[in-house]
């Protein structure tokens, strides 16, 4: 009777071990890169909502007196300066919070170009209007949320459209930014008076 042949497990050669390690490292690197892509996107998307040094936070207290304030007019150094701003433009700001109800913005148009923009907290311009839209020298609109707009529409008399301009903001907080262009250095005082003359308060 012949003895059965002895089967021994073949040990992987050094080359095979190296190949396997390199392959594993490749897969791990691929997983790391995939994770890096996810981390990259999540960071970029979360940055605006986590930012605490943006304009919406820096100028949160402006406009509490019922009119737009210039960031530079308060105690020097108390508020950060606006970056990338046009040196020829006077900027006045009014922070809004619609959780307490709609806000009314009233501006008187002058001879200098003026624009009012609504910047939502976290970035993006919700609305922009220039003084060319002023009626009899007055620019007036109400700023409200979607729900507040629905309520107002329900309160409006049947069949009678409101004559008032209503702007629906998609975020409850943000900034009303008034910019007046001082074309000549001598226009600066007029521009400041126009910009800070913009009223912003509860719509009632």
Partner 1 sequence: MRIGELAYVLALGAGLGLASAQWAVTARPAIGKVEIGPWAAWPAGGSREIDPYLQAYLARGVHLPLGAGEGMELIAETSDDGAALEARCRYSISGATPAARGWTLSVSDTAGAPFRLALERSGFSDAEIVRGEDGAMAIVAAFSPQPGNWLPLPSEGRFQLRLRLYDTALSIQTGDARPALLPQITRLDCR
Applying CB under 8 A, which residues contact partner 1?
24, 28-29, 31-40, 42-45, 47-48, 51, 53-55, 58-59, 80-89, 91, 93, 113, 115, 117, 119, 122-130, 132, 170, 175, 177, 179, 181-184
**What span, in angstroms and rounded, lies between the C-alpha atoms of 88 and 179?**
10
Residues whose CB falls within 8 Å of the CB of residue 62, separated by 6 or more in sequence, listed in order:
68, 69, 71, 79, 93, 94, 95, 175
Closest distance to partner 1 from the beta carbon of 197 (Å): 18
Nearer to partner 1, 34 or 156 (CB): 34
Nearer to partner 1, 167 or 203 (CB): 167
Tell how strand 138-144 and strand 166-168 pair up.
parallel
Q: Are the C-beta atoms of 173 and 197 separated by less than 8 Å?
A: no
Closest distance to partner 1 from the beta carbon of 105 (Å): 14
Nearer to partner 1, 38 or 202 (CB): 38
Closest distance to partner 1 from the beta carbon of 182 (Å): 8
Closest distance to partner 1 from the beta carbon of 72 (Å): 12
φ, ψ dihedrals at 174, nearest 5°: 175, -165
Nearer to partner 1, 125 or 202 (CB): 125
* Spatial CA neighbour of 139 closest among 83, 68, 86: 68
Nearer to partner 1, 43 or 64 (CB): 43
Nearer to partner 1, 124 or 137 (CB): 124
Per-residue tokens: 177: 């930014």
Closest distance to partner 1 from the beta carbon of 193 (Å): 18
β strands within 3-159, DSSP E:
89-97, 103-108, 114-120, 125-130, 138-144
* Edge-to-edge strands, sheet with 125-130: 89-97, 173-181, 114-120, 125-130
SS3 97: strand
Closest distance to partner 1 from the beta carbon of 41 (Å): 8
């Amino acid at each position: 009777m012949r003895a059965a042949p002895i089967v021994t497990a073949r040990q992987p050669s050094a080359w095979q071990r190296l190949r396997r390690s390199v392959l594993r490292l490749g897969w791990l690197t691929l997983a790391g890169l995939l994770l890096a892509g996810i981390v990259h996107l999540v960071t970029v998307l979360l940055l605006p909502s986590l930012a605490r040094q943006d304009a919406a936070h820096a100028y949160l207290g402006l406009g509490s007196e019922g009119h737009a304030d210039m960031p530079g007019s308060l105690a020097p150094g108390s508020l950060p300066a606006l970056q990338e701003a046009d040196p020829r433009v006077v900027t006045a700001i009014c922070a809004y919070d619609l959780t307490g109800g709609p806000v009314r913005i009233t501006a008187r148009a002058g001879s200098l170009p003026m624009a009012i923009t609504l910047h939502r907290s976290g970035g993006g311009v919700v609305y922009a209007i220039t003084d060319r839209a002023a009626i009899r020298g007055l620019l007036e609109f109400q700023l409200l949320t979607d729900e507040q707009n629905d309520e107002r529409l329900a309160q409006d008399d049947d069949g009678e459209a409101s004559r008032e301009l209503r702007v629906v903001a998609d975020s409850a907080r943000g900034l009303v930014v008034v910019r007046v262009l001082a074309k000549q250095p001598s226009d600066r005082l007029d521009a400041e008076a126009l910009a800070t003359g913009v009223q912003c308060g509860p719509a009632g």
